[in-house]
Amino acid sequence: MTVPPPPPQQPPTPYPAPPQAPGYPQPQVPGYPQPQGWGLQPPRDKRLGAGGIIAIVVASVLGVTALGGVAHYLSSYGHDSSTDERPAPASAEAPRGSGGNEPSGRAEPSPQRYRLTVPATLLGGRYTLAKDVSRTIDDGIAGQRNSWNERNMKGVGGQYTADGGEQELVTGGLYGEIADPRRTLDSMFQGMNANPGVTVTTPPKDITPPGAREPVTCERYSVTRSGGTGFVAVCGWGDHSTAATVSLPGPDDRADLEALAKQTAEVRDEMRVPAGS
């Protein structure tokens, strides 16, 4: 009988793999704080945004530029939405974001949602709508309606006249969903101030008009272009659904900011309506 061959031998056990060299621990990706927005903060926007467009509209009222320049400014200039440090205002005005209170220039958080309108008249009928510039502002924010801080934004605005056209008032703003109203309002002011030829003559400061519960932010600036130099006083507000400015063009830099702040508080009540209405 034939003896079967022995089974093949197993190959020798290979040398054990060397222990894995200790590596650097895998870094954990930190989470981003959510209360301030809906996503990551984007790089600096290269367009001027609503504030810049409003400044151009105001400059056109002064006769120192044309609205045709909107497209040029939108494609060529940008604004930084970071908050600048500003000088402490006088005791009669509320310091910006001090004392742990709500950031000034905006309403306290509320479940009430608002939208902005362009009324036919403002300030109890004193000013009459001469031109609705909502299309100009809304077209200018195309592509910027949703960001880490704002959602579903729409632009509105109007040019108003009084006393037979001798006095002008320009309103402009945005409405939608705003996570950080202070940042949105600051961006609008920075957009205005970033326009070529604009020089801030009175830095932004917060003023609470008598009888008003919510402060507004006000500044003065001059604008110089080929058509000459004009002066503008402007006040604005921001809440969790609206941010807007009221601009008063004039021949000099002596506009009363306290008076404009009071008018702006009244305009806020006239322009801002419940979102469902």
pLDDT at 50: 59
Mean pLDDT of 139-151: 85
Least trusted range by pLDDT, from 98-112, 147-161, 171-185, 231-245: 98-112
Q: Is residue 85 part of a domain?
A: no
Is residue 104 pLDDT above 70, yes or no?
no
More confident residue, 100 or 268: 268
- Specify the pLDDT at position 178: 93
Question: What is the pLDDT of the chain when averaged over all its residues?
Answer: 73
Predicted confidence band of residue 4 (pLDDT cuts 50, 70, 90)? low
Place of tokens 């503008």: 232
pLDDT at 10: 56
pLDDT tens column, 118-140: 999 999 999 999 999 999 888 88
pLDDT at residue 158 above 50?
Answer: yes
The band of 112, judged by pLDDT with boundaries at 50, 70 and 90, is confident
* 149 falls within a domain: yes
Residue 16 lies in a domain: no
| Domains of the chain: total | 1
Domain that holds residue 256: 49-80+108-274
Q: What pLDDT, on a 0 to 100 scale, did the predictor assign at position 95? A: 38
- pLDDT value of residue 80: 35
Task: Say if 26 falls within a structural domain.
Answer: no
pTM value is 0.68
Residue 63: predicted pLDDT: 53
- Helices 181-193 and 49-62 sit at what angle, rounded to 10 degrees? 40
Q: Which of 273, 271, 258 is nearest to 215 (CA)?
A: 258
Dist. CA 275–CA 268, nearest whole Å: 14
| 5 half-sphere exposure, CB direction, 13 A CA radius | 3
User: Which of 59, 75, 66, 93 has the alpha carbon at shortest distance from 193?
Assistant: 59
Q: Residue 134 has what pLDDT?
A: 92
Task: Give yes or no for residue 270 having a pLDDT over 60.
Answer: yes
SS (H, E, C) 11-49: CCCCCCCCCCCCCCCCCCCCCCCCCCCCCCCCCCCCCCH
> H-helix or E-strand containing 274?
strand 272-274
Report yes or no on 161 lying in a domain: yes
In this model, does residue 155 exceed pLDDT 80?
Answer: yes
Is the pLDDT at 163 greater than 50? The verdict is yes
Under 8 Å between Cβ of 25 and 34: no
Note whether residue 96 is domain-resident. no
Whether residue 97 lies inside any domain: the answer is no
Q: How do residues 32-83 score in pLDDT, each as one tens digit?
A: 344 345 444 444 444 445 566 666 666 655 554 333 333 333 333 333 333 3
Domain annotation covers residue 227: yes
pLDDT, position 78: 33
